């Protein structure tokens, strides 16, 4: 009996110890994967029904707002207005928006549009296989994906820093794994570029970037011209989000040879994105382009252990052709090449830079996953296995 009891105690002890030893994980989602809420003053926004007046409701993703009777209201509240005296984009009058902040004890999936990228599978993997505890050593951090100025990114940086520090302390001072998806990678890189090296050495164990769009995305061109799932997020709405001036293809990676948009009288490369914004009539974005496109333009080395994972070998947009010089018909023909179905291969070259520029004391691995798509990468078994190797070996 005593032997069994001892055995039981030992097992329990091992479980407690191994649980205490887990390195916390903080997940940073991609674009369109955070939930947004809105409060409308319908006196100031008369296109919105009075039934929505002065209460917090879901803005993204709220299927009800896609109904024809709500659509013009929806377009009016999802957009920003440009304020020329502050040279910035702001909510229209009578519109307040917020993210659903993930509190320190909050569930990993809170505030995220998790169904979309199989994030529940990701969570399930760590909770069942490795005995992680949701809300204790697994967290996520949502953000307003419409934004892309250093002023707005600053808000995100504070949220993430606070979460990292409190998670670290709650987990016996174990440094944190940051795992990002897509635009989350750009958010993390900016965050890391703004932190002191001593802080990073203390709090960050590693950064694992899944499908990171670190050098911008070619397919943002398509959103700017045609909208996103148009008419749900129309081009007028898209062209009021500073994000789309921030995450156009970076000249340092895409260079001056690669033609990204072709019209009868012009070839646009990554160096011509300012003219492109002008020519599609996104004048307000063009006013902030030089400022926001410089935020990550030097692709600063993260100087933490860094793993870049990508899907490869899937047909992917690598450029566009417009029949009209002024993009009047809002239609583009897609030129296809290789990538993960959404992001072309070239954006991975940003990680490759760090093989040379990053301090050699940090690990650096870049890896392609055959025929695993942009969103599938998060819940894919092979990728999760690879992450297990990094965290538990």
Task: Report the interface residues with ligand NAG, using CB under 6 A.
Answer: 41, 43-44, 54, 83, 85-86, 90, 103-105, 150-151, 154, 169, 172-173, 259, 265-267, 291, 294, 310, 312-313, 345-346, 348-349, 352, 355, 364-366, 368, 370
How far is 215 from 102, CA to CA, in rounded Å? 28
How far is 81 from 92, CA to CA, in rounded Å? 6
Whichever of 113 and 215 has its CB closer to ligand NAG, that residue is 215
* Residue-wise DSSP of 40-83: E-TTT-TTS-GGGBTS-EEEET-GGGGSHHHHHHHHHHHS-EEE
Question: What's the Cα-to-Cα distance from 350 to each of 177, 235, 341, rounded to whole Å?
Answer: 21, 28, 18
Whichever of 3 and 370 has its CB closer to ligand NAG, that residue is 370
Q: What is the closest distance, in whole angstroms, from the C-beta atom of residue 355 to ligand NAG in the complex?
A: 4
Distance of CA 205 to the CA centre of its chain: 20
Whichever of 113 and 280 has its CB closer to ligand NAG, that residue is 280
- What radius of gyration, in Å, describes the C-alpha atoms of the chain? 22
Q: What is the closest distance, in whole angstroms, from the C-beta atom of residue 229 to ligand NAG in the complex?
A: 27
Whichever of 11 and 44 has its CB closer to ligand NAG, that residue is 44
Question: What's the Cα-to-Cα distance from 13 to each of 18, 20, 130, 272, 393, rounded to whole Å?
Answer: 8, 10, 16, 62, 21
Q: Angle formed by the axes of helices 150-170 and 183-193, to 10°? A: 80
Residue from 70, 75, 72, 79 nearest 52 by CA: 70
Query: Checking DSSP bridges between strand 81-83 and strand 88-90, what pairing results, if any?
Result: antiparallel
How far is 392 from 348, CA to CA, in rounded Å? 26
Q: What is the closest distance, in whole angstroms, from the C-beta atom of residue 134 to ligand NAG in the complex?
A: 12
Q: What is the closest distance, in whole angstroms, from the C-beta atom of residue 39 to ligand NAG in the complex?
A: 9
Q: What is the closest distance, in whole angstroms, from the C-beta atom of residue 266 to ligand NAG in the complex?
A: 5
Question: What's the Cα-to-Cα distance from 135 to each of 102, 139, 167, 373, rounded to whole Å?
Answer: 9, 6, 9, 28
Whichever of 113 and 260 has its CB closer to ligand NAG, that residue is 260
Q: What is the closest distance, in whole angstroms, from the C-beta atom of residue 334 to ligand NAG in the complex?
A: 16
Q: What is the closest distance, in whole angstroms, from the C-beta atom of residue 68 to ligand NAG in the complex?
A: 26
Whichever of 31 and 348 has its CB closer to ligand NAG, that residue is 348
Q: What is the closest distance, in whole angstroms, from the C-beta atom of residue 225 to ligand NAG in the complex?
A: 18
Whichever of 27 and 80 has its CB closer to ligand NAG, that residue is 80
Whichever of 126 and 310 has its CB closer to ligand NAG, that residue is 310
Question: What's the Cα-to-Cα distance from 270 to each of 18, 153, 233, 356, rounded to whole Å?
Answer: 49, 23, 25, 23
How far is 393 from 386, CA to CA, in rounded Å? 10
HSE of 120, CA atoms in CB hemisphere, 13 A = 4
- In degrees and rounded to multiples of 5, residue 372 shows phi and psi of -110, 125
Whichever of 137 and 348 has its CB closer to ligand NAG, that residue is 348
Q: What is the closest distance, in whole angstroms, from the C-beta atom of residue 313 to ligand NAG in the complex?
A: 4
Whichever of 81 and 230 has its CB closer to ligand NAG, that residue is 81
Q: What is the closest distance, in whole angstroms, from the C-beta atom of residue 116 to ligand NAG in the complex?
A: 23
Q: Reduced to 3 states, what is the DSSP secondary structure of residue 211?
A: coil
């Amino acid at each position: 009996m005593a032997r069994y009891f001892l055995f039981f105690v030992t097992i329990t002890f091992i479980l407690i110890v191994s649980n205490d030893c887990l390195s916390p994980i903080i997940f940073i989602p991609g674009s369109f994967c955070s939930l947004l809420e809105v409060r409308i003053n319908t006196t100031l926004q008369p296109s919105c029904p009075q039934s929505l007046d002065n209460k917090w409701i879901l803005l993204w993703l709220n299927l009800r707002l896609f109904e024809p009777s709500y659509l013009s209201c929806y377009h009016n509240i999802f957009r920003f207005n440009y304020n020329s005296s502050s040279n910035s984009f702001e909510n229209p009058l009578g519109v307040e928006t917020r993210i659903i902040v993930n509190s320190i004890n909050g569930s990993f999936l809170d505030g995220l549009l998790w169904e979309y990228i199989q994030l529940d599978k990701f969570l399930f993997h760590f909770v069942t296989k490795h005995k992680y505890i949701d809300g204790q050593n697994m967290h996520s951090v949502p953000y307003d994906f419409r934004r892309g100025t250093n002023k707005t990114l600053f808000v995100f940086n504070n949220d993430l820093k606070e979460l990292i520090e409190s998670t670290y302390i709650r987990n016996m001072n174990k440094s944190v794994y940051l795992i990002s998806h897509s635009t989350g990678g750009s958010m993390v890189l900016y965050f890391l570029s703004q932190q002191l090296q001593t802080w990073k050495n203390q709090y960050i164990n590693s950064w694992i970037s899944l499908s990171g769009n670190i050098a911008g995305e070619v397919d943002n061109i398509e959103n700017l011209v045609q909208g996103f799932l148009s008419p749900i997020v129309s081009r007028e709405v898209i062209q009021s989000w500073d994000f789309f001036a921030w995450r156009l293809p970076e000249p340092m990676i895409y260079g001056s040879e690669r033609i990204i948009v072709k019209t009868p009288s012009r070839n646009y490369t990554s160096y011509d994105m300012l003219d492109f914004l002008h020519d599609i009539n996104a004048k307000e974005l063009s006013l902030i382009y030089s400022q926001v496109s410089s935020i990550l333009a030097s692709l600063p080395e993260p100087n933490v252990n860094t793993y870049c994972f990508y899907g490869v070998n899937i047909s992917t947009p690598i450029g566009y052709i417009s029949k009209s010089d002024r993009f009047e018909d809002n239609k583009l023909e897609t030129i296809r090449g290789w990538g993960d179905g959404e992001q072309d291969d070239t954006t991975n070259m940003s990680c490759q830079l760090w093989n040379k520029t990053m301090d050699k004391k940090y690990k650096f691995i870049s890896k392609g996953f055959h025929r695993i798509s942009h969103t599938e990468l998060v819940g894919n078994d092979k990728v999760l296995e690879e992450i297990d190797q990094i965290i538990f070996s």
